[in-house]
A and B are shown apart, each in its own frame.
Chain A
Amino acid sequence: MKGVQQHRPEVLRALDLFAEPGQVVELRLLKVQCQGQRFPVTMSGYFDNLKLLADNASRYGGDAKGVYVTLNPVNPALFARAANRLRTAGKTDSLTSDADIIKRRWLPIDLDPVRPSDISSTDQEHSLAVERAFQIREELRQDRWPDPIVGDSGNGAHLLYPVELPTSDDGLVKRCLRALALRFDDDRVKIDQTVFNPARIWKLYGTVSRKGDSVRERPHRLARVLEVP
């Protein structure tokens, strides 16, 4: 079946929210099926030109399982690893590590519908996760949290809360995710508690999430920004 396509304007809109002009961002494409390669590869590059980042995401993203970016600001020196271009990242090539992050700018909340691994969600599962995201936003508003960016991850939903924290946060983000999971998890939708590390990569909105094959009940979908404060 013909799949959903990437949407470059949405990619640029998302990048404009996350990265200030001139900020270095790592673009990482997972499980890219390249011609002439027997096994899928990871591609990675560092960009201070967000239009070039969007171009590269568009050019290679269609062959990738997922297209991701670093959320938090990266040490600008990493730009020299692959400057405004993508390279195939071999086993010895470095990717962004926690030590390469300058500070934490986001508290990321990733809501996944409960389902077997490596398949896309059904429309019903997907809707449940998106509804849960809006429910969490409303409840946290009552607790005087700021408004988050609300995103559709393609299979579930995202909330991105602005923070200003050092990279070494003494486990604050990790504990926060655990507390939110205790409060909002149920047997249908769960908060991913593993996304606490500062170098965490995040689905690039405007690109397609491709878990498993796209079938009618479990289609591939576009990740996108749903609401901006």
Chain B
Amino acid sequence: MNDDRLTEKLAAEVLGWKIAPGRFLKPDRGWTPRWHFAPLTKIEDAFLLLDRVANHYTLTADESEGFRAEVYVGARVGRASGEPRARTVTFALARALGLEVDS
């Protein structure tokens, strides 16, 4: 799944947004330009997803192993590591949701 498709999938499944050309449509008749929501590059958008759906998550960083994210959604766990951090968090979350993502 490429980055655009993954972003759309997460917007739809986690946030309940609908996909329209150039925009995401929010449930309350609001909307946001598509380029404003970028959980793979903007850490605040990655946390928006985490806060919405994760039961529990652990983010760790150390010199030997770098940045790692572990996300629990229900009985599932998703893990990812590396930089940039927004991408790592979002990949871990996607895996916890059962989505296939490129490493």
In the bound assembly, the distance between CA atoms of A229 and B26 in angstroms comes to: 9
A20 near B25 with CB under 8 A, answer no
B33 interface residue, CB < 8 Å from A? yes
B21 interface residue, CB < 8 Å from A? yes
Contact A20 B34, CB 8 Å, known A146-B25, A162-B23, A164-B22: yes
B31 near A162 with CB under 8 A, answer yes
Residue of A144, A145, A164 with most chain B CB atoms under a 10 A cut-off: A164
Number of A interface residues at 8 Å Cβ cutoff, please give it: 13
In the bound assembly, the distance between CA atoms of A146 and B33 in angstroms comes to: 13
Of the residues B20, B21, B26, B33, contact of A17 by C-beta under 8 Å: B33
A20 near B31 with CB under 8 A, answer no
Number of B interface residues at 8 Å Cβ cutoff, please give it: 14
A81 interface residue, CB < 8 Å from B? no
B29 near A144 with CB under 8 A, answer yes
**Further contacts, 20 of them, CB under 8 A, given A105-B22, A145-B29:** A16-B33, A16-B36, A17-B33, A20-B22, A20-B33, A20-B34, A20-B35, A21-B35, A141-B29, A144-B29, A146-B25, A146-B29, A146-B30, A146-B31, A147-B31, A162-B23, A164-B20, A229-B26, A229-B29, A229-B32
Can you name 8 A-B pairs with beta carbons within 8 Å?
A16-B33, A20-B35, A145-B29, A147-B31, A164-B21, A164-B22, A229-B29, A229-B32
